[in-house]
Amino acid sequence: MSLTNLLAISLGAILTNNFIFSQFLGICPFLGVSKKTDTAIGMGLAVTFVMGLASAFTFFVNKLLVALGLEYMQTVAFILVIASLVQFVEMFMKKAMPTLYTALGVYLPLITTNCAVLGVALLNVQSNYNFIESVVYGITGGLGFLLAIFLFAAVRESLEFAETPKCFEGFPIALITAGLLALGFMGFSGMVVWQ
């Protein structure tokens, strides 16, 4: 456990193993909330926030499950944890930070069932990360999601004004764009060797 290790995890989560472009997790909000850059940033921040929190919580839940020999229940238990966590955070924010609550708005409850959040929890367990590594992986994974959705939204915004063939208008060209972006991110795969 050293700083370089954490850096490696961060770079891996943001670029090499980007949740969207290499692991294909969280595609639903990626396509759904990427029509405007500002909503995309809102969604990305919300995901980052929840992924960091979820990593921390599921770490302890996983310890409990392992202690009792119930590893096979990870998925179910994690879903439970994440769902209640998001609910709790929503209530807390509504009271304590109304401005942030209105800014994130509808995205927060949407994340409850986001597979990227469940994915980060399960990957933490798979990679045998300790607590700090888990949290770092969660937050940087969220930042990777933020980067991906922001880039995609920015391209989609300009696509609105581009002359696309009739049959590609709207969603098809967006999917092609996503594929090209994913190809671009493939270029990072040779960069980090530790993972």
Partner 1 sequence: MDMMNIIYAVLVLGGLAALFGIVLAVAAKVFEVEVDERYPQIMECLAGANCGGCGYPGCGGCADAIIAGKAPVTACAPAGAEGAAKIAAIMGMEAPSGERMVAHVICNGGEASVKKYEYRGVEDCLGALKVGAGPLECAYGCLGMGSCVKACQFDAIHINEKGVAEVDPEKCTNCGACRNACPRKIITEVPASRKVHVQCANKDKGPVAMKVCKNSCIGCGMCERNCKFDAIHVVDGVAKIDYDKCKGCKICSKVCPRDAIDPISTPEEKEKFKAVLKAQAEKAKAAAEAAKAAEAAKAE
Provide the binding-site residues for partner 1, judged by CB under 8 A: 61, 64-65, 68-70, 73, 76-77, 80-81, 84, 87-88, 91-92, 94-96, 98
For the beta carbon of residue 93, count every other beta carbon within 10 angstroms.
18
Q: How far is the CB of 71 from partner 1 (least distance, A)?
A: 11
Q: How far is the CB of 65 from partner 1 (least distance, A)?
A: 7
Q: How far is the CB of 70 from partner 1 (least distance, A)?
A: 6
Q: How far is the CB of 88 from partner 1 (least distance, A)?
A: 5
Q: Is the dihedral of CA 162, 167, 168, 169 positive or negative?
A: positive
H-assigned helices in the chain: 3-11, 27-32, 37-67, 74-96, 98-104, 107-111, 115-126, 131-159, 171-186
Q: How far is the CB of 81 from partner 1 (least distance, A)?
A: 7
Q: How far is CA 88 from CA 45, 80, 104, 122, 138, in A?
A: 17, 12, 15, 21, 19
Task: Kindly tell me which of 1 and 96 has the beta carbon lying closer to partner 1.
Answer: 96
Task: Kindly tell me which of 72 and 171 has the beta carbon lying closer to partner 1.
Answer: 72
| DSSP letter, residue 15 | I
Task: Kindly tell me which of 68 and 193 has the beta carbon lying closer to partner 1.
Answer: 68
Task: Kindly tell me which of 101 and 150 has the beta carbon lying closer to partner 1.
Answer: 101
Cα 144 from Cα 84, distance rounded (Å): 24
Task: Kindly tell me which of 111 and 148 has the beta carbon lying closer to partner 1.
Answer: 111
